[in-house]
Amino acid sequence: MKNPSPGWRFSFLGIILSVFPLLILARIIMVQANPAQIKELKAYGDQFAWEPHNIIPARGQIFDRWGNILAGNETVYEVGITLAEVRNPDTIALICSVVFGLDYDKVRATAELEARPDQVYRVLTQTATQEQIDQYEVMKERVLQDSPKDKDENPPSLRGLSYLKRLKRVYPEKQVGANILGFVNGDGIGYFGVEEYFNSLLADKPKTIWLPKDPQLLEDVPEVPNGADLILTLDRQIQAQMESIIDNAIDENGAESGTIVVLDPETGEILALATTPRFDPNEFQNYGQVFPPGTQYNPAISQAFEPGSTYKIFTMATGLDSGAVKPETSFLDTGAFEIGGTTIYNWNYGAWGPQDMQGCMQHSLNVCLAWIATQIGAGDFYKYMDTFGIGQLTGVDMAGEVSGRLKTPGDHDWYDADLGTNSFGQGVAATPLQMATAASAIANDGIIMTPHVVRSMIHNGNQQDFELRTLSTPIKKETAHTLTEMLARSLETESSDALITGYRVAGKTGTAEIPTPYGYTSNLTNASFIGWGPTDDPQFLVFIWLEKPQTAIWGSIVAAPVFREVVEDLVVLMDIPPDFVRLKLYGQ
């Protein structure tokens, strides 16, 4: 039997070959007539011609109010090992020890590790300098030249060793302003202070850009904007000088720590904030040694304490503003005052006899201030304290602020006696900045401005100034002027160590017992002073705190002289003429 003719197969194949080009042509026409499909096909092809690159923007710089750089960046290199590519651990270890100063044994042990899914690449150092990289390149070339041409069992090789350019945070002023700035760790994360508070502004988010794999198609690499630059309210010279003064005061008085806050009461700008301990943020890895557990990075905003007699200015301001007392109001001081089942005594347990309100402040009489609090009444007293911001966050633009605490009626642990003890700063917990901010109401016509350390931001070439904000207005302008005059007279009458030749200032000393679990049984104190000037036009407000001084316990002996030293420097650095010159210039 004959096989069927194969002709039909060739005919069928011919039909298919004839139809297939027609189908392709029809598809081309359909695609060209459909823009959406053109875009889809182009994107599908582009994904093989382009590749993504992650770009980390440079962290924004930080400047003081005059443009002095406080935090910037420098180029360094990360050196690491891709474990699967290593051929000779000995060569890598030798080069790293000679060029980068790394430990030979540790590098060799790292290079010998086997690559795993969770451990493909190991960092050796993140701070290699340009000089070290240049030296490495020379050594690398020498290794390649000296490698034997014949097959050696283990020829010298630097395969697996690589480096990557990166930016490192640097602080040119080292310790100056460190407690305000905070620091940036090796992963580029800001901690404490301005670095943490503004981390998202300073460190803009990484950007992914697509670049062609074919270098001939590469025209311009898209620019990725850096993080925002910040201009602070700080004056670098004032800050450095305040740090020097507080360090000397701690040494001379054997104090455990100390803080100086300097702000402009009219704007809320912090001109300086010097505190201890401090460290060089360039060496952030030493943080744990300088700040052991329980030690605050910035006590000025993070450590609340009982302020003692400096707090009396708020009680007197409340009494005057509410009308409970007037400057000439008479009070007979018998040396003791009973309130809520507790007897209040003066600091020297003495009786001072007939006094007006000037005398109560001048002699810092606990008994008188407790009586004033009762004349005000608990309701109004704590309303005023709330408006002064006691027991509340000031809203300062630094990370780590705490609110302190002021017990009020209705709290489970508030008692009638607390009204008396709170009146002279006992049983109250406030931070140094909180005290300075509250006192600024008296120095600034009754108005409290929100304290801040950042004046403006610069991003993408545009400068944005931060607006000044009013925090509260706890007292009337007249009350502020009256109390300022009372405090100035008190210093002058007592011939206080806080007085400055040529400048009239107002202020109040503070000596606070330090509570223990068993009550006020310690002989240690917190010595403080708060003051401002010139009294007719306050341009600075200063709060000083020395913790547990050993030479003396009294704020009048320990802290008042520090205030004088601070102001003597401030009037020079701020270019404030003596009162008689300034008043003559302005025709007053």
What pLDDT does 54 receive?
55
The pair of three-digit structure tokens given for residue 258, joined into one six-digit string: 């100390």
Q: Which amino acid is at 344?
A: I
Angstrom CA distances, 349 to 122, 344, 367, 458, stand at 68, 9, 10, 58
What pLDDT does 246 receive?
97
For the stretch 326-366, pLDDT in tens is 999 999 999 999 999 999 999 989 999 999 999 999 999 99
For the stretch 134-161, pLDDT in tens is 999 998 888 777 666 555 567 888 888 8
Radius of gyration of the chain (CA): 35
For the stretch 276-297, pLDDT in tens is 999 999 999 999 999 999 999 9
User: Which CATH superfamily does the domain covering 62-232 fall into?
Assistant: Penicillin-binding protein 2a (Domain 2) (3.90.1310.10)
pTM over 0.95: no
Give 222's DSSP letter. P
- CATH number of this structure's domain 236-283+303-585, picked from the four choices 3.30.565.10, 3.40.710.10, 3.30.70.360, 3.40.50.150: 3.40.710.10
277, 568 Cβ separation under 8 angstroms: no
Domain ranges of the chain: 62-232, 236-283+303-585
What mean pLDDT is predicted for residues 192-214? Answer: 76
The pair of three-digit structure tokens given for residue 486, joined into one six-digit string: 């009372």
User: What CA–CA distance (Å, rounded) separates 188 from 185?
Assistant: 5
The pair of three-digit structure tokens given for residue 411, joined into one six-digit string: 């709290």
